[in-house]
Amino acid sequence: MPEASALASEPALYAAAWFLLLAVFALALPGKLRDFEAFVGTVRNYRLLPAVLARPVALGIVAAELSVLLGLLLPWTRSAAAALAAALLALFACAVAVNLARGRRGIDCGCFRTLLRERLSWWHVARNGSLCAAALFVATAAPRPAGFLDLAVAALAAASFALLFLAGAQLAFDPRHELVGEGTGAGSGSPS
């Protein structure tokens, strides 16, 4: 498959995927740190584990996302960080899919912890699947050295994808919808 090999060595494609991952994790982390208790409530609301584990799992998610963000910045840790990102994104997609299969759409997804409260939808599964594919590409590709034009194209492509993800979130947002706080305790059901 010479075409696949040529595509995997394309520096603009690699850099676009890398920039997109950096943007996603840089946008996802601050809100969780700013209102950690609300994020613990969101983890609890997924009902995938005993409530007593919500806080340690939320802390683990934040630590893993911070590791991904910092690891993506350094060339010698980028592949490992991208592999961790792929694992996290696959886990998030599965958590959303399980809740959708259970008919539980009225909880906050917990993705970006912004004022835009996103209830669960298949859009989240597709988005996380796309990002997982980008992370796997960054983890495994060996691009040739990038030039200025490659980086400029990559930055524009990553920005375009980020805007598409944000537009999808805006289209999925229903301002009439109030998120359901299904857990108990502080931060439970808090909007993201």
Question: Rg (Cα) of the chain, in Å, rounded?
Answer: 17
d(CA 6, CA 110): 37
Mind listing the pLDDT tens digit of every residue in the chain (192 residues)? 556 565 666 788 888 899 899 989 998 898 899 989 989 998 999 999 999 999 999 999 999 999 999 999 999 999 999 999 999 999 999 999 999 999 988 887 777 765 456 778 888 899 899 999 999 999 998 777 777 777 787 778 777 877 776 676 666 555 554 444 444 444 444 333
The verdict on residue 178 lying in a domain is no
The verdict on residue 181 lying in a domain is no
Q: Which of 87, 91, 88, 117 is nearest to 105 (CA)?
A: 117
Q: Which two tokens stand for residue 83?
A: 């592999």
The verdict on residue 10 lying in a domain is yes
Q: Which of 166, 91, 72, 71 is nearest to 132 (CA)?
A: 91
The verdict on residue 177 lying in a domain is no
The verdict on residue 60 lying in a domain is yes
What one-letter code names the amino acid at 83?
A: A
Whole-model pTM?
0.78
Domain span holding position 147 = 2-172
**How many domains does the chain fold into?**
1
Q: What is the dihedral of CA 178, 182, 185, 186, to 10 degrees?
A: -30
The verdict on residue 34 lying in a domain is yes
The verdict on residue 53 lying in a domain is yes
The verdict on residue 152 lying in a domain is yes
